[in-house]
Amino acid sequence: MATKDIFIGRQPILDRSQQLYAYELLFRSGNKHNSATIEDNLGATASVINHAFAELGVEQALGPYKGFINCDESLLLSDMLEILPTDKIVLEILESVQVTPQIIERCTELKARGFKLALDDFIHFEDKWKPLLELIEIVKVDLLPLSQEQLGTVTSQLKRWPLTLLAEKVDSREQAAYCLRLGYNLFQGYYFAKPVIITGKKLGHSQLALVRLLGLVMEDAETPALEGVFKQEPGLTMNLMRLTNSVASGVRTKVTSLRHAITVLGRRQLQRWLQLLLYTNPAGGDQVASPLLQLAASRGRFLELLAGKLKPGVHEFEDHAFMTGIMSLMPTLMGAPLEEILKGIQLAGDVQEALEKQTGQLGIMLQLTEALEMSDGERCFDLTGQLPGADATLVNSCLTQALSWASNIGRENT
């Protein structure tokens, strides 16, 4: 399997406060088996990981977060791991690895070098795991095959060791809440991005103000009209200042006032920050709606970068792509139907088509970013084939750039 046929996926891992803690990095082939033939092929695995870290800059793309990487026995025993940054990477030992004296010796060595170790897909306790449980720091418990009673039993058994427990394949907020009560500290899955739509729900005042602001910017309204809306919402103004002063904004001078922000940013950038502002706490303060902000920002930026490669110099297409990515998570954020959210804003036809039907070129691109999030290599391969000029290398490059950009959102210059 050539490196160019591998798609890089990433799945968020959240802490008890529902904030991003890490990403699991997944390398998925576009073949019919998807689950990465590469896991059985050390040479291909080494090539992919080297490509991801040395060429695509995945280490930088992780931002302040750690990256979990799957390790089978051959990868665990190889010296290839030495190229990886020990402070950024958690080595995730697959459940298929046999716990031999050689593996225990190697894990002891890797831990001494500074790597964190995790055990993947734990389902039930067996004595053979004891030597490994003395060494590792994180156990990932697979919720899928376990009943609540079985989960409780496994959890109790694992609490004999000073481990961090991670619940994986969390499909609902109810599951997350149950695991929280059991003492789990980390959670993996896209349950946080599943919308809870309340029929008849109306948008809050601050949300309406933001949608109205977006409409004004898209209509190229005068600056005083924008200021007038912002002045009614001091919390939004505060968050705009914070976002525009973050390292991701590219603004070289400190933004000190609302008028300054509008002037310095320009309308195109202002529109982007207003879209991101939807994912922050409307009341102001430091709390950001992460990981939704991260997910929305990376979606928007990925689609924008990909659009720029597919249609170079067509800024309108890039703008529409960014809007599609950001708006795709609005029902989740606001708990309201898309049609309710879109009442106060006039969208371009291709954006609306992509959001409502996932059709057209933007619709295919939106499906692609969702497939990347779910690490569905086969679907990524099929969708990329529907985008003339795109291939896995281009997609991976855009994704890592987007993730790097999104990781910096809200981190202010000091």
Q: 279 near 289, Cβ under 8 Å?
A: yes
User: What pLDDT is recorded for position 3?
Assistant: 45
- Is the separation of the CB atoms in 310 and 391 below 8 Å? no
Give the pLDDT confidence of 32-66 residue by residue, as tens digits.
444 444 444 465 556 667 666 766 676 666 777 88
Q: What is the mean pLDDT of residues 307-335?
A: 88
Q: Look at residue 87 in the predicted model and tell me its pLDDT.
A: 87
pLDDT of residue 91: 94
Q: Which two tokens stand for residue 241?
A: 């200042």
List of domains in the chain: 3-191 (3.20.20.450), 195-414 (1.10.3210.10)
CB atoms within 10 A of CB 115: 21
| Closest residue by Cα to residue 274 from 209, 336, 339, 337 | 209
pLDDT, tens only, 171-205: 888 899 999 999 999 999 888 777 665 555 555 66
Given pLDDT bands bounded at 50, 70 and 90, which one contains residue 283? very low
Q: Flag the least confident range among 103-107, 137-141, 267-271, 368-372.
A: 267-271
Has residue 389 got a pLDDT over 80? yes
Report the 10 Å Cβ neighbour count for 253.
Answer: 9
* pLDDT score of 201: 55
The pLDDT value recorded for residue 391 is 92
Per the CB < 8 A criterion, the answer to whether 332 and 355 are in contact is no
Cα–Cα distances in angstroms (integers) from residue 174 to residues 121, 193, 199, 293, in the given order: 20, 14, 20, 22
pLDDT digit string, tens, across residues 102-111: 999 999 999 9
The percent of the chain in helix, strand and coil, each rounded to the nearest 5, is 55, 15, 35
Residues in the chain: 414
pTM of the model: 0.77
